[in-house]
Amino acid sequence: MIGSSGEPTPGVWDAAEAAVARGQHLAICTARVAVGPTWEYAKRLDPDGVHIFHSGAALIHSGTNEVDGEVLSEASITACERLADERGWVLEYYSAFEIACPSSDELADAHAGLLGIAHVARGRDSLTGPVLRLQFVVPIEDTETVLDAVPAAAQGTAATSPAMPEAAFVSVTTAGVSKASAIAKLAARLDVGTDSVMMVGDGQNDVAAMQAVGWGVAMGNADPAALAVARTRVGHVDDDGLAEALGLSAEVD
């Protein structure tokens, strides 16, 4: 949805509006927190529907702000805090609508800018809601090291962004909680089979979700792992590949 420009293009919004007019349900499925521009994008896609945030750890209703969340265990939080201290990694804490990061590292500041919010270093105790997800923000070459270090009671998924190519974002959620599990939960709410769902993705953290639905669609700029499992491929994000996918969704069974 978001390429190097840092925001959806008019072509994407036009295609989304056409899909809604056809009676299709659109939902954001993201590792991000429901704040800033990302939350506004969700409300614009469907102002009275459920969207997936925090790598599947939260289903949030854009009209009522109701949260169906999976709380991360204290043991997993403590283990990740220890890792961050030992390795010098940036660690972010997330409730449904909040982010807290005590680090003043350049990566922490750059990530806040990517989210469209100001970075103010603050600890977990500043959150008003329970921790649903943690996230390590690390140099991209450290991705596999972080994934290997995630505690056994949790699971890690890695993501990247064209707007911040030097970094990897490793989300930590409760084991079994993922974009794929959240899609299944949302589809059940809508009384729709997952075989009638299209998931458009571009990252490693989209692979399982793309495999769990009837139509897994990879963006042209997708990670090789996402391209490998996709049922079809559309254009690069900067060439309105998402608009192409939305058009395709009207033509497939």
Q: Does residue 223 lie within any of the structural domains?
A: yes
The whole-number pLDDT of residue 74 equals 98
By CB atoms closer than 10 A (0-12, 13-18, 19+), residue 36 is middle
User: Is the residue at 180 inside a domain?
Assistant: no
Residue 238 CB coordination number (10 Å): 14
Q: Which DSSP helix (H) or strand (E) runs through 18?
A: helix 10-21
Helix axes 36-45, 106-115, angle to 10 degrees: 30
Number of structural domains in the chain: 2
User: Which among 50, 90, 46, 84 is positioned nearest to 67, based on CA atoms?
Assistant: 50
211 with 158, same domain? no
The one-letter code for the residue type at 108 is A
3-state class (DSSP) for residue 207 = helix
* Together in a domain, 114 and 155: yes
Asked if residue 65 belongs to a domain, the reply is: no
User: DSSP secondary structure string, 54-97?
Assistant: GGGTEEEETTT--EEE-PPPHHHHHHHHHHHHHHT-EEEEEETT
Evaluate whether residue 186 is within a structural domain.
Answer: no
Residue 110 lies in a domain: yes
Pair (161, 221) in one structural domain: no
What is the residue range of 99's domain? 74-174
pTM, full prediction: 0.92
Give the N- to C-terminal CA distance of the chain in Å, as an integer.
Answer: 23
**210 and 127 inside one domain:** no
Q: Chain-centre distance of CA 97, in angstroms? A: 14
Residue 163: per-residue pLDDT: 83
pLDDT at 56: 97
Q: Could you report the average pLDDT of every consecutive run of 10 residues in the chain (253 residues)? A: 88 96 96 93 96 98 98 98 97 98 96 92 97 98 97 93 91 97 97 97 94 98 96 97 97 83
pLDDT, position 5: 84
pLDDT of 54 reads 96
Helix (H) or strand (E) holding 43: helix 36-45
Examine residue 142 and state whether it is found in any structural domain, yes or no: yes
Residue-level pLDDT at 2: 87
Tokens 């997800």 locate to: 133
